[in-house]
Each structure stands twice: as structure tokens, then as C-alpha cells.
Structure 1
Amino acid sequence: MRDQEPGSGHPERRLSTNEAAELLGVKPQTVYAYVSRGQLGSRRASGGRGSTFDAKEVEALARRNRRESAGSSPSGGELSVRTRITLIEKDRYFFRGVDATELAARHSYEEIADWLWTGRLHPGVSFTAPVDSLELARRAVSSLPEHTAPTDRLRVAAIAAATADPLRFDLSEDAVLGTARTLIPTLVSALPPVLYAPVDDGPLAHRLWTRLTAREADETSLRVLDTALGLLVDHDLAASTLAVRVAASARAHAYAAVSAGLGVLEGPLHGAASRLAHRMLLEVLDQGDAAQVIAEELRAGRRIPGLGHRLYPGEDPRARALFARLEELPRAAPALAAARDVVATTARHTPLHANVDLALAVLTVSCGMPATAGETVFAVARTAGWIAHALEEYTERPLRMRPSGRYVGPRPPQPLPE
């Protein structure tokens, strides 16, 4: 509708209550709450039925709400999102206010995941895969080519499990928690086993172990893998987590949100970083010295994998905690020495600390795992964090993750192309 601004010859665009509510992404009664708080002006509609609102004023309020909801960092204008899940501060990180490295040292991956989702600790909690969705996921994964990457297998398993869940569009907290506790074990048990007799019950770390290496599991090795899973559960708004929140903002179900995270994780600058560190450690072990390996990496114009992290000026606390746990594993001694050699050799010119990718590479090299194993561990672990962020995003205003593009192309009108 259009009204005439009193005393002016220019038309003023006015919106009805429903139009204003739609633009603001709120219920009509919330529009009147904005009026009562003085955040929005109103005028009785002609005929006295309902109110109208200045379109420009409503649009300005909508922009202000988006800024307050998504925000921008004072340092670089990057997107920031209010969250109660993970805090990274002064070379430490915390899950719901609790030191994450201490949680990983004392609790299982499943317990940490549940803490992240609910804010409550459930000792001894276990996740179980439903038979129907697991069989469907296994059939889908088994149909893939042998050379398929781990993240592709996991993504296919997630999609297959979704098709077996008729309640997947229920985004209530209880329903999503139920999905989380069945999806993660489904993803793990859908992976092809390395051993002839895979483990499909008990701690998730034991189930995952039989998908990563042919070596027999022992208590110390399983404790190291479980610690790695717990340390990697979440790390604030990494690229894959942001993709999950965008999907959840559009009200995609949990399986689809996890699939979005897996898609981003496959990038070489994110989840695949430990693969490069794994190969580098094998070369150092083969040559007996890091100097030549580092020289070749630099000569090829590549950065040294497993070193430095933009969020930690000092040592990555995840690396520190995982290295400490790896010290308990006797067969990890050669790979640990190789990793220290890499850090020391590089520090002659650039004092970079080890990050978690290097520690994860020590684990995969020491336990006879393939170079892709670190990526698998990372993806399985981070699924719990993605679901925590999806749960949080489902309580926010829908579609708030909608930045505006800054158009820099030719100004219209342009002629039609011939």
C-alpha cells in the first residue's frame, strides 16, 4: 500500500502489519512489541483498521536486527555469531566454559558430545546405530568405488541414513538429539572395516579403530584415539561449521546440515591437512632427518604442514594434549621424534608451533593407518560439534545467515548480449 506523506508531494511507502512482520522475520505481535518499545513508529490505517508502518523504518530495523544477530568482528569485519558452545581464548579453548583438553583427558568422546549438546554430563553414555538405517548406509557405501575418499563415504552414509528416517524434518531438540545419537555410530559402522571382524558395539573409538587399521587394538591405543576424537569435537566457527549453521538457518534437517559440513571439510585447507602432515612424517622417518624434507617442501613453494594456527599465537592446545597422550604409546616414539625434528628444523627461521594436524599425523603413522585416516577421525569427531551448532541455530531466527552481496559488476542497464 502507498500513503501520502503529510505536507509533502512525495509518496511514502507504508506496510501493513503482516508485511512488516514478514520483512522482519517475526510474528505480527512482535511488530507491536517493537512499537511499544519505541523501536518502530506506527500509524492507524485509513478506516481505523490495523496499523501501517514506514517501509524505510522497517527495513532499517531489519538491517539492525541482522547486525545484532550475526554481528561483525571489531578486528576485520568478518561474520561473527553468538554461541554458547566453544570459546577460544589465550591459547586455550573451552566447551561450554569447561577446559576442552581436561574434558578430553577425563571423559569419552560420547560423554563430551553429550555435554556439548545438552550442557549435562552423562557418564557411560553410549550411541547405537539403528539396524535399518545402518544396513541402508552400508549398502550405499559399499557401492562406491574402492578409491573413494573417507568424507565421500561419510556423506553418502549420512544421506542414506536420512532416507531411512521419516522423522528427519522434526527439528525439535529431542528429535535432533535422537538423530545425533544414532547418526554418528551409523557413519562409523558404515565405513568398510580393515579387520575381518569389525567391532560394531562398545565405545565409538573401538568401532572406529577397526575401520582405520589392521593392527589389534589395545587399551592405550584406544585411549589415544578417544582423546583425539574428544579434542576435535568442535573448534568454534571453522569453515565447515559455518556451512552447517547456514544449512540449519535455512531449516535443513540434521542429516543435511552434517552433509554440508562434510562437503566443506573435504577442502585441502581444512579437514585434509593431516594427510599432508602424515606423508611428511613418513618421509622424515624414511630419510632419518627433517632438514632435507623441509628444504624440498619450501623449494616447491609449499608451506610446512602441521605447523602454526591463526587462532593460537602460541601452541595449539589440542596438539599439546594429544602429544601428551601419545607419549603413553611406546610405538609412537619414532613418529614423535620426527615431529619434534620438523618443529625444531623449521624454528631456525620461523618459530611456528605444532598444530593438531601434526599430532594427528603422529597418531596415524604410529598405528599403521593410511594417510586419509586423520581426515576420517576429524570428520567423525566434528560431526558432534556440527550437530551442537545446528541445535543452537534452530533456536535462532530463520534465514539470518544471509549476508548481502556487494555488487562490483557493470552498472545497469546494459544492452542484451548478442
Structure 2
Amino acid sequence: MANDLLSARETCRILGISQATLYAYVSRGLLESRPGTDHRSRLYLRQDVERLAQRKRVGRGAARGAAQSLDRGLPVLETRISLIRPDGPYYRGRSAIAMARDGATLEDVARQLWDCGGLDPFATAFEPQWPANVAATATDAALPPLERAMAAIPLLALDVRHSFNSAPRVRHEIAATLLRHNAALLVAQPPFAGPVHRLLAQCWKPDDEGFAELVRAALVVCADHELNVSAFAARVVASTGAHLHATVCSGLAALSGPRHGGATARAYALIADARDADSARDFIAMRWQRGDDLPGFGHALYPHGDPRAAELLIRVRSLHAGTPGLASLETIITATEEVSGQRPNIDFMLAAICHLNALPATPALVMFAAGRLAGWLAHVLEQQAQGRLIRPRASYAGVAPETSTRAD
């Protein structure tokens, strides 16, 4: 792992910058520094340095700029759905953090994201049982949540008569049913006509109002985050004109990857390992110094801390004040900030909620998937209303075709 860490001098040489500029890059969140073996020098992860060097080489040309735009670079499309600011995401102009504090439910957020106006798509009649062709799969608790949902949702589409209807009211009603169906599938329960946070909380900690409120807030702040990987995947599929159920499956498939939805499980494991260590601080410092990442900490779009995580942390501190679980969690958070300068992100807090409530890692992913579906559907509805196919061009960098030298 030593070769994966660079000294400040080597980093400056690769980037072609001075040490003063290097420190500025660190303060702006473009690079992370780690303590050297003597605890006075600083080291930098080679892959981060090389990625930044590549971005510097790309230049500002339109074609070259597009090459970096797919990795948190230049904007690639216009949206009216959400805006990311240092104080958190905004849903069509309304702060997600403020909505969570004001008691909004996931359904309230969905109406905002989908631009429903005065119509409530959740007020339509709702069948509380699964169709016969999906009942066995939908209630099979032995299946992993995402796989269960991805298996059942395409079959549910077969019973939707107006899958391709372009009327906003019809599409919003289909989306509302799909939001509820997805949540029920994620926890292997029958369809539930009440708020999604009530369904999830009742499955995990029945009749615990404080926990239900925590789940509600988590769903609200997770509902959308601009063009994240799963939202973009859903938009690409939506641009083909595919029905809502198909687009949701693409979002779930993207979420299943370890670098997206799997981040909650990695954060859960980090918390468990740190709590089991003789010294949480020494454990965190050892990982950081050898070049390992710290799952659940830091966010490229929030270099000064993830406001969504900060909001949930306030609630956790109030709900679990004075408990050993919270004390150990605070130790991990403090140690990580002292060692790496990083603060908790949303993945960490979802995992922390599970730890504090004696739950396995799976509910963290379920909360993320149940909440984020509202955002996917918003992006899908917007993309299909635009009526344009997303089809970027590739910049070929492979072997050049052979040129014929045959004489005429």
C-alpha cells in the first residue's frame, strides 16, 4: 500500500503546482491529505492525485470537457428537480433539510418533486394485496430486498393498463402506487396505503414513535440528490420511452452496486470494526495511514460536511442521549475528523441508525432505496416530458483500424 501514497513533493511534481497551491487544493476539498509516518509530513492518495492531474490535462474544449463531465464534472443536462448547495439538496426550490424539520413525509416530498400542483396522486384507491403472479416473490423474506423488488416490479407493470399514458395525472398516480409498492417489496410486506415511513418503522421497531420519526426524516433527506448514478441510469432508460416500472428497475440495479447503495453496508462494517477495536481512534488512524478509505465519511459534493448527515445526527443525539451506543458512535465521529478531517455522510448515518437500534445493515439500504425512488420517478417524469433520447457519443481510444495499402 505504500506505493499508493505520495509525498507532498511528489504530488506537486505530478500536478505541476507549488506547495501553497497544494494546500489550497486540500482546503477546497479537491484532495485529501493523510498523516505521514512521522506525523508531521502529509501524504496523498496516488489515485486521487492522478485523477486530478488528468482533469487538469483535459482542458476546456467542448469535446474534451465532456470526457470529464460524467465524474462529478461539468453539468450534462438541465433539470428543474433538485439543486445541491452547501447546506444540502433543494427539491424544486425547497430545502430538503427544512422539509424534514417541518414534518414532511416521503409522500409530501414526492408531490413536490413530481410537481403535482393541487392534485394528490396518493389519494387514489389502492389495492392492499399483491396480484397472484407476484405474491410468492413479493413476500419471500429470504430474498435480498433489491433483488426481490427488481423481480416483482416488472410483473406488476403487466397489470397497469395505462403504462404509456402521457397525461400527467395518470403518470403521477402510477408513480404513487409504484412508490408504495417498492417500499412494501423492500420489506416483504403486503402493499400499504399509509405513509412509507410507518410501514418501514413498524417492520423494524413496532410502536416506537421516536424511531418512526427518525425513519421519516431519513427518507426525506434521501429522496433525491440530482444526477447521482441511479437517477442518471433511470433517466437514460426513461429517454427511450420505457414505462415507469422499467425505469425504476434500472435505478434499483444501479443502486445494487457496492460503490453506490453498497456504501451503507461498508459504513455499517466500519462502525462495527471500530466499536470492537481496543481503540477506535487507533483503528481509524491505522486505516487512514495505510491508504484505506473510510466508508461513510466525506462527500465530494460537500467538502465541509454532508448536511443530510448532520440533520440525522442531531435527531440521533436527541433520541439516544446518554446511551453507550451513542457514546461509541461519537468516539468514531470525533476520531475520524481528527485523523482525516472528514465528517459523516448520509451512508454513515443510515448505518448508524441501524447500529443504535440493534438492526442489521439491510435496513440502511432499504431506507435509501425507498426514499430515493421518489427522486428517480421525478427524473423519469421530467425526462419523458422532454421527449429526448439520451445518447452521448464515445471518444474512441482503442486500436486504430488498419489502413489498406493494396495498390489499385
TM-score, scaled relative to structure 1: 0.73
Other-structure match for 2:238: 248
Q: Within 5 Å, which residues of 2 pair with 1:116-195? A: 116-118=113-115, 120=117, 129-131=126-128, 133=130, 136-142=133-139, 146=142, 148-192=143-187
Cα distance in structure 2, aligned partners of 1:75 and 1:221 = 36
Pair 1:316 & 2:306 matched: yes
Other-structure match for 1:209: 201
Shift in CA distance, 74/209, structure 1 to aligned 2, threshold 3 Å: closer
Other-structure match for 2:76: 80
Quote how far apart the aligned CAs of 1:280 are: 2.1
Q: Within 5 Å, which residues of 2 pair with 1:306-345? A: 306-330=296-320, 333-345=323-335
Could you say what secondary structure the match of 1:347 adopts? helix
Other-structure match for 2:225: 235
Unpaired segments ≥5 residues, structure 2: 1-61
Quote how far apart the aligned CAs of 1:183 are: 1.0
Other-structure match for 2:401: 412
Quote the RMSD (CA, aligned, Å): 3.2
Cα distance in structure 2, aligned partners of 1:188 and 1:134 = 16
Other-structure match for 1:275: 265
Cα distance in structure 1, aligned partners of 2:331 and 2:119 = 41
- The one of 88, 112, 132 equivalent to 1:115 is 112
Q: How many residues were matched structurally?
A: 340
Could you say what secondary structure the match of 1:403 adopts? coil
Is the CA contact 1:157–1:187 (under 8 Å) kept in the aligned structure 2?
A: no
Amino acid in structure 2 at the alignment position of 1:405: A
Other-structure match for 1:53: none
Q: Deviations over 1:336-364 (max 9, x none)?
A: 33333223222333211111111111111
Other-structure match for 2:92: 96
Shift in CA distance, 284/395, structure 1 to aligned 2, threshold 3 Å: same
- The one of 362, 367, 371 equivalent to 1:381 is 371
Other-structure match for 1:285: 275
Cα distance in structure 1, aligned partners of 2:118 and 2:214 = 21
Quote how far apart the aligned CAs of 1:368 are: 2.4
Quote how far apart the aligned CAs of 1:209 are: 2.2
Cα distance in structure 2, aligned partners of 1:243 and 1:278 = 26
Q: Deviations over 1:295-343 (max 9, x none)?
A: 5644775311111000012111100111112223237944433333223
Is the CA contact 2:186–2:366 (under 8 Å) kept in the aligned structure 1?
A: no
Quote how far apart the aligned CAs of 1:76 are: 7.7
Cα distance in structure 2, aligned partners of 1:332 and 1:362 = 16
Cα distance in structure 2, aligned partners of 1:252 and 1:191 = 23
Could you say what secondary structure the match of 1:411 adopts? coil
Quote how far apart the aligned CAs of 1:376 are: 0.9
Is the CA contact 2:126–2:193 (under 8 Å) kept in the aligned structure 1?
A: no
Is the CA contact 1:110–1:126 (under 8 Å) kept in the aligned structure 2?
A: no
Amino acid in structure 2 at the alignment position of 1:404: R
Q: Deviations over 1:192-246 (max 9, x none)?
A: 559xxx89443211212244x2x32311110100110011000000000000110
When structure 1 is superposed on structure 2, of 222-231 and 127-136 the one drifting more is 127-136
Quote how far apart the aligned CAs of 1:272 are: 1.5
Quote how far apart the aligned CAs of 1:185 are: 1.4
Shift in CA distance, 74/210, structure 1 to aligned 2, threshold 3 Å: closer
Could you say what secondary structure the match of 1:93 adopts? strand
In terms of Rg, which structure is larger? Answer: 1
Q: Deviations over 1:261-302 (max 9, x none)?
A: 000001111112111111222233334641243256447753
Shift in CA distance, 102/127, structure 1 to aligned 2, threshold 3 Å: farther
Amino acid in structure 1 at the alignment position of 2:95: D
Cα distance in structure 1, aligned partners of 2:368 and 2:133 = 24
Pair 1:302 & 2:292 matched: yes
Cα distance in structure 2, aligned partners of 1:296 and 1:260 = 38
Is the CA contact 2:122–2:177 (under 8 Å) kept in the aligned structure 1?
A: no
Other-structure match for 1:4: none
Could you say what secondary structure the match of 2:303 adopts? coil
Cα distance in structure 1, aligned partners of 2:309 and 2:69 = 27
Quote how far apart the aligned CAs of 1:136 are: 4.0
Other-structure match for 1:362: 352
Cα distance in structure 1, aligned partners of 2:166 and 2:197 = 28
Cα distance in structure 2, aligned partners of 1:360 and 1:135 = 34
Other-structure match for 1:46: none
- The one of 346, 368, 385 equivalent to 1:395 is 385
Is the CA contact 1:126–1:203 (under 8 Å) kept in the aligned structure 2?
A: no
Is the CA contact 2:89–2:96 (under 8 Å) kept in the aligned structure 1?
A: yes
Quote how far apart the aligned CAs of 1:89 are: 1.7
Could you say what secondary structure the match of 2:114 adopts? helix
